[in-house]
Structure 1
Amino acid sequence: MVEWHGVPRPAAHPVRIDGGLTLRSKRGEVAQTWWSRRFIEVLESFGMASRLERGRAYARTGQVISMSLSTSLVVALIAGTRPEPYRARIGVKKFNDEEWRRIERALASQAIFTAKLLAGEMPPEIEGVFTELDLTLFPETMRELSMDCTCPDWQAPCKHLAATCYLLAESFDTDPFEIFAWRGRSREELLENLRGLRGSLKAQEQRAEKPVVALEDCLDRYWEQPPAQTVPTPDLVVTHHPDALLDQVDPLPLEVRKRKVVDLLRPAYRAMVKGANRST
Structure 2
Amino acid sequence: MNNWRGFPRPAKPIRVEGGIRARSRRGEIARTWWSRRFIEVLESFGMGGRLARGKNYARAGQVRSLTVSTSVVVGLVQGSRPEPYRVRIGIKAFTAAEWERIERALAGRALYAAKLLAGEMPTDLENVFAELGLRLFPNTMRQLTMDCSCPDWEIPCKHLAAACYLLAESFDEDPFQILAWRGRGRDELLDRLRALRGTVTGPDAGEPEDAPTLPESPEVFWTTGERPAAPVIPDSEPTAADAVLDELDDLPIDIGGTRVTDLLRPAYRAMRRS
Match of 1:151 in 2: 150
Query: TM-score, normalised to structure 1's length?
Result: 0.69
- Secondary structure of the corresponding residue to residue 47 of structure 1: coil
Change (3 A) 1:64 1:205: closer
User: In the TM superposition, what are the counterparts of 1:41-120 in structure 2 within 5 Å?
Assistant: 41-120=40-119
Is the 1:67–1:74 contact (alpha carbons within 8 Å) kept by the matching residues of 2?
A: yes
CA distance in 1, matches of 2:135, 2:146: 19
Aligned twin of 2:250: none
Instruction: Give a deviation string over 1:130-177, Cα, whole Å, max 9, x none.
Output: 111000110111111000000011111111000000000000011110
Cα distance in 1 between the residues matched to 2:47 and 2:117? 33
**Equivalent residues of 2:108, 2:204 under 8 A apart:** no
The one-letter amino acid paired with 1:131 is: A
Q: How does 1:182-221 map to 2 (within 5 A)?
A: 182-202=181-201
Post-superposition Cα deviations, 1:68-90, rounded to whole Å, max 9, x if no partner, equal: 01100000001100000000100
Partner residue, 2:128: 129
Matches within 5 A, 1:241-260: none
TM superposition shift of 1:47: 1.3
Alignment deviations for residues 114-142 of structure 1 (CA, whole Å, 9 cap, x no partner): 22123332112211111110001101111
Tell me, in whole angstroms, the C-alpha distance in 2 between the residues paired with 1:120 and 1:28.
27
Q: Please state whether the residue corresponding to 1:90 is helix, strand or coil.
A: strand
TM-score by length of 2: 0.70
1:42-72 Cα offsets, whole Å, 9 max, x none, are 1111111222111001100110000101100
**C-alpha displacement of 1:188:** 1.0
Instruction: Output the aligned Cα RMSD.
Output: 2.8
Could you tell me the percent identity over the aligned residues?
63
Q: Could you tell which deviates more after superposition, 179-188 or 121-130? A: 121-130
CA-to-aligned-CA distance 1:222-269 (integer Å, 9 cap, x gap): xxxxxxxxxxx9799xxxxxxxxxxxxxxxxxxxxxxxxxxxxxxxxx
* C-alpha separation in 2, matches of 1:234 and 1:74: 64
Bigger share in helix: 1
Q: 1:51 to 1:200 in 2, by over 3 A?
A: same
**Counterparts of 1:198 and 1:107, CA distance in 2:** 9
Aligned length, in residue pairs: 208
- Segments of 5+ residues of structure 1 without an aligned counterpart are 210-232, 237-278
Cα 1:151–1:10 change in 2 (3 A) is farther
The answer (yes or no) to whether the contact 1:22–1:62 under 8 Å persists in 2 is: yes
Retained in 2: the 8 A contact 1:10–1:82?
Answer: no
Secondary structure, aligned partner of 1:201: coil
Equivalent residue for 1:39?
A: 38
Q: Write the mapping of 1:148-187 to structure 2, written as runs, cut at 5 A.
A: 148-187=147-186
Note if contact 1:117-1:176 (Cα within 8 Å) is conserved in structure 2. no
Mapping of 1:226-265 within 5 angstroms? none
Q: Give, in whole Å, the separation in 1 of the partners of 2:11 and 2:167.
A: 27
Distance 1:10 1:73, change over 3 A: farther
Gaps of 5+ in 2: 209-226, 231-272
Mapped to 1, the partners of 2:57 and 2:67 lie a distance apart of: 17
Tell me the CA shift for residue 203 of structure 1: 9.6
Distance 1:107 1:87 in 2: 36
CA distance in 2, matches of 1:75, 1:65: 11
- State how far apart, in whole Å, the 2-side matches of 1:27 and 1:234 are: 68
Deviates more, 1:69-78 or 1:122-131: 122-131
**Which of the two has higher C-alpha Rg?**
2
After superposition, what is the alpha-carbon deviation per residue over 1:4-47, rounded to whole angstroms, capped at 9, x for unaligned?
9xxxx998211111100001111111000001100001111111
Separation in structure 1 between the aligned mates of residue 37 and residue 142 of structure 2, nearest angstrom: 18
Is contact 1:71-1:183 (8 Å) kept?
yes
